[in-house]
């Protein structure tokens, strides 16, 4: 919990429509904060970027009535504020972020939601202390791969973009606890996604996912069967596992893939039976293996006893 009061330090002059504040953190430390609002957002005062001991900078409209005035570019001088720990630039008119942001090595929170960004500067990888990044409702079509170098990220919001793929390097975010990816166009998750074992909140709803990685059950800290807010996957055309399995939680997903691996282990001829297409869902699998001729061919190739794969699938609750 923080408390903000207007600063009385005479070394700072008060300017109309922007405020110099001091904020008391929960630990009792006084942090210097700048809050810019109103018409000044349309023409940022350069003096702001000379106050190099500032720790919090907020340049975002706060009310719908203020949306007439927005920031349309971030001056390169932002790089002078090397003591910033939090930078709020959400709900503006930004199409790019200057590379100079890479000098803000103390930055912990960066809010850029509700803009028009479709790419991030590679220098963002230099923000080694960044823990919270808000990028919802922008124009990203590709996952910003530079984020995979921000190894201390704990919160990442990329909801409401147009992202279609997630890179394998996502697995580097070993400290990520909250990942919001709703309302995108993601078709598949890489196997490396299952390395994100610190995840406690994962929202994947309203994408185009047809299957989950086979080790998805490794994300053991997700508990959406106990807390609905920790997980969202609705609005996807999931087949593997089926949505009814996913809704029951990680235990059921692990059980589904465990049985599926047994099926693969007992049928080396399985690729032929699937015609090289994507893995079908439970009903399709059961129908395939109730055909005795298909079972006989599988047994001839694998030199193992015929297993009733349909029965195996019935073990899935």
List of residues 6+ apart from 75 with CB closer than 8 A: 44, 46, 49, 98
Closest to 192 measured CA to CA, from 163, 167, 220: 167
Q: Where is average pLDDT lowest: 176-185, 220-229, 234-243, 299-308?
A: 299-308
pTM of the shown model: 0.78
Q: How confident is the model at residue 313 (pLDDT cuts 50, 70, 90)?
A: very low
Q: What whole-number distance in Å separates Cα of residue 45 and Cα of residue 260?
A: 62
Q: Where is average pLDDT lowest: 14-28, 81-95, 183-197, 242-256?
A: 14-28
Q: Up-side HSE of residue 232: CA atoms within 13 Å toward CB? A: 14
- Please report, for the chain, the start and end positions of each structural domain, with discontinuous segments joined by +: 3-260, 262-314
Q: Name the residue with higher pLDDT: 258 or 79.
A: 79
Ordered DSSP codes for 6-48: E---TTS--BTTEEEEEEE-TTS-EEEEEEE-GGGGGS--GGG
Please report, for residues 211, 263, 277, 309, 317, the alpha-carbon distance to residue 250 in angstroms, rounded to integers and kept in the order given.
14, 20, 26, 23, 13
Q: Do 207 and 181 contact (CB within 8 A), yes or no?
A: yes
Q: What whole-number distance in Å separates Cα of residue 159 and Cα of residue 191?
A: 21
Range list of H helices, the chain: 243-246, 250-265, 270-273, 282-289, 292-302, 309-314
Sheet holding 132-134, edge to edge: 3-6, 18-24, 30-36, 56-58, 86-88, 109-111, 132-134, 155-157, 178-180, 201-203, 231-232
Q: Where is average pLDDT lowest: 223-232, 266-275, 295-304?
A: 295-304
Look at the alpha carbons of 41, 46, 51, 52 in this order and tell me if their dihedral is positive or negative: positive
- Pairing label, strands 30-36, 18-24: antiparallel
Q: Is the pLDDT of residue 101 over 70?
A: yes
Q: What whole-number distance in Å separates Cα of residue 201 and Cα of residue 229?
A: 7
pLDDT of residue 73: 94
Q: Do 191 and 213 contact (CB within 8 A), yes or no?
A: yes
Q: Do 181 and 161 contact (CB within 8 A), yes or no?
A: no
Q: How confident is the model at residue 4 (pLDDT cuts 50, 70, 90)?
A: very low
Q: What is the dihedral of CA 277, 283, 289, 290, to 10 degrees?
A: -150
Q: What whole-number distance in Å separates Cα of residue 259 and Cα of residue 266?
A: 11
List of residues 6+ apart from 263 with CB closer than 8 A: 270, 285, 307, 309, 312, 313
Stretch 12-30: mean pLDDT = 54
Which residues on neighbouring strands pair with residue 178, listed in sequence order?
155, 201
3-260, what's its fold?
3.80.10
Stretch 289-317: mean pLDDT = 40
């Amino acid at each position: 919990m923080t408390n903000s009061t207007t600063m009385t330090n005479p070394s700072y002059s008060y300017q109309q429509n922007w405020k110099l504040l001091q904020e008391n953190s929960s630990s009792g430390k006084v942090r210097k904060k700048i809050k810019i609002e109103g018409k000044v957002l349309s023409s940022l005062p350069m003096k702001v970027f000379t106050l190099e001991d500032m720790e919090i900078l907020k340049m975002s409209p706060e009310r719908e009535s203020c949306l007439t005035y927005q920031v349309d570019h971030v001056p390169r001088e932002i790089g002078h504020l090397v003591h910033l720990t939090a930078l709020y630039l959400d709900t503006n008119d930004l199409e790019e972020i200057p590379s100079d942001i890479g000098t803000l090595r103390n930055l912990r929170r960066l809010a850029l939601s509700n803009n028009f960004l479709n790419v991030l500067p590679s220098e963002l990888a230099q923000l080694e202390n960044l823990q919270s990044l808000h990028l919802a409702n922008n124009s990203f079509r590709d996952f910003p791969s530079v984020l995979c170098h921000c190894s201390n990220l704990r919160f990442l919001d990329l909801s409401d973009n147009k992202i279609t793929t997630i890179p394998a390097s996502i697995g580097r975010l070993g400290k990520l606890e909250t990942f919001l990816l709703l309302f995108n166009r993601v078709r598949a998750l890489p196997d490396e996604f299952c390395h994100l074992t610190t995840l406690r909140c994962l929202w994947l709803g309203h994408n185009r996912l047809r299957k989950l990685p086979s080790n998805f059950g490794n994300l053991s800290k997700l508990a959406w069967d106990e807390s609905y807010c920790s997980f969202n996957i609705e609005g996807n055309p999931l087949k593997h596992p089926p949505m009814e399995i996913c809704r029951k939680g990680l235990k059921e997903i692990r059980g589904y893939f465990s049985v599926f691996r047994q099926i693969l282990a007992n049928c080396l001829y399985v690729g032929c039976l699937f015609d090289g297409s994507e893995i079908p869902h439970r009903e399709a699998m059961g129908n395939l293996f109730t055909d005795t001729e298909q079972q006989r061919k599988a047994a001839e190739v694998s030199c193992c006893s015929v297993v009733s794969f349909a029965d195996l699938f019935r073990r899935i609750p």
